[in-house]
Each structure stands twice: as structure tokens, then as C-alpha cells.
Chain A
């Protein structure tokens, strides 16, 4: 049985589950603690879904497909903590321990082949071998000379809440106006024709594009939030595919969604989301994206089941 830890609002998991045999899947929504009972102990574990009465144990677990075990209802945490925050942290830590144990037993779906983390900055460093990469700076205290000219966009290295219900989107900003007592991640603006996103599924690729002029902002996520639109599937050149394979082989990732800008026909690397949202690209599975991912999970699950015998 495939264990999928996520949250009730993860629509990508809703869609993947339609392509998996319901008998072989156990979805655990971390934000719905009242829907489940669980017990992890020295000889194994048992999780029961109280709504469906389904259960998963150490005997039936074959794969761990990590999705989005996270909370969308933020809580205020007082200086000395809160019992709700304590409950959340304990549960998340349990899942992380469970994940690591499954990792060591080779049961994690589409797991990386190398045990090295590539955050946004290491991705940008590695990407220069395979794609165009716009100059970037992460700085504090003094404005680097390079930022005194040209057009620059500000980005965020983390998704840490910033307060007042705000989120950090990519935005063009004049660096000279920044308060330098904060750390700033800036990249030179790329004036390309289109955004290209590529879902990489263990060697297979699904690419889609959208013209940049259709966005009224630097960050396509903001446009998607305000005006959800399907992106048409597009072709990649052999050179593009080889570059993507090279990047994935070097970093060890076997799954992820790339974001690029295409300028004068060439790909400019923005980032790889190793566990991003991707089902919005083909929400009715008309072009087969959801089946591609589900098939990869099912294929691996069969291999996990055989290896466990």
C-alpha cells in the first residue's frame, strides 16, 4: 500500500489518486488529526482512517510518496509556545522520522539517487553548466556595484511568512531603494518571450509554455492565482532535453518541476521544485501528465513490493 502524507487542500494529490487503485493507497491528511488514529511502536505501526475505516501497517506498507504534510491555517505562537503548535511539531517530526526510516529501507517513491540537498542557490550554481543563468546576488549591508545598473527582480529564498497575510512574489525593484539592513536575493531580469515549465518524471519529460506578455507581473504564480489558466503542452529540443537530463543526473533528482524563461529560443534556468505543484498543467489528464506520474509511482511500488517479499 502506498502511504501519502499530505494535507486536505493538496489538489495535486486529489488528482493523482484518481489514477491510482484506491485499494493500494492510504492518504494521511496532517491537518485533519480527528480523522485518524495512529500508533507507532517498537514492532511497527498502524494508522487508521476513521472516515473510511481503512488502515495501513508495517505489513501492508510498500511505498512512501511524500506530498504536502503542512498546515494552511497559521497560528499565533506565543513567546513560550502553544499546545497546538506542540501538537503540530510532534506530528510533523514523527512523519519525518517515518520518512527517513522508509528512505533507509528503499521505500520512498521517486526519491533522489544522491543524498545531497540542492537549495535554490546551489541549483543556480549547478545550472550554469547546462542552461543560461542570469546573474544573481544575495547580499546584506552594502549594495553590490553590479546592482547599481540594469533591471533586477527580488526573490525569496524561503517561504517563511512575512506577516500581515503577505507572501513574497518575484517582483522588479530598483535595488537602490532597498533597506540594506535586510538580506536580499536579487537576480537580473530576463526579458524572454515565454515561460516554460518542465515536469521531469524519472527520465520522462512533460513541457508546457505560456507567453510572458500574458502576465501583468514578473511572477507567473500571482497571475495563476488571479486567473487560473491551463498552459499548452510544448516540445523541447534535443539540446534542451539533454541539458535537463544532465542537471538531473548531476543533482540526483528523479522528479521535479523546472521553471525556465525562453529568450531568443534558449532556456534560462530559474529553479527546480523537487516536490512542487504540477497537476494544474493538465488537471483533466487530457494530455496524460497525471497518468505519467501515477504510472511511475505504480511501477516503483511494484518493485518495492517485490523487494519486501
Chain B
């Protein structure tokens, strides 16, 4: 198995849907990427 075969697709969401989801308080799409980003220590 390659990394591509193990990773999960979240691209089913359109950019508008992602924007709506993250603009609401559901914290959905943003959750994954935002968790680890920006620790500038």
C-alpha cells in the first residue's frame, strides 16, 4: 500500500461548502489542517 491508498479523500466538498462549514461553528474541514499548523517555536 502507498500513502495515497491509505489517505482519505475530503475533496468531495466544494470550496463553498468548506467555507460554509468552517464559517459556522462546526469546525469541520479546517480541523484537520489547522491542528498542527503554525507552531513557530
Which A residues are closer than 8 A to B by beta carbons? 9-12, 14-15, 66-70, 72-73, 96, 99-100, 111-112, 115-117, 154, 158-159, 162-169, 171, 173, 177-179, 182, 221-222, 224-226, 228, 273-277, 279-280, 283
Contacts and interface: CB of A to CB of B under 8 A. Distances in A.
Contacts, number: 127
Interface of B: 1-4, 6-12, 15, 18-19, 22-41
B9 A279 contact: no
Given A68-B34, A182-B2, 17 more contacts: A10-B30, A11-B27, A66-B40, A70-B33, A100-B40, A111-B41, A112-B41, A117-B39, A159-B37, A166-B10, A173-B1, A224-B27, A228-B28, A275-B39, A276-B35, A277-B31, A283-B25
A15 B22 CA distance: 12
Contact of B38 (A154, A225, A275, A280): A275
A115 B26 CA distance: 34
A99 B2 CA distance: 38
A275 B8 CA distance: 24
B25 A11 contact: yes
A116 B36 CA distance: 17
A224 B11 contact: no
B40 A166 contact: no
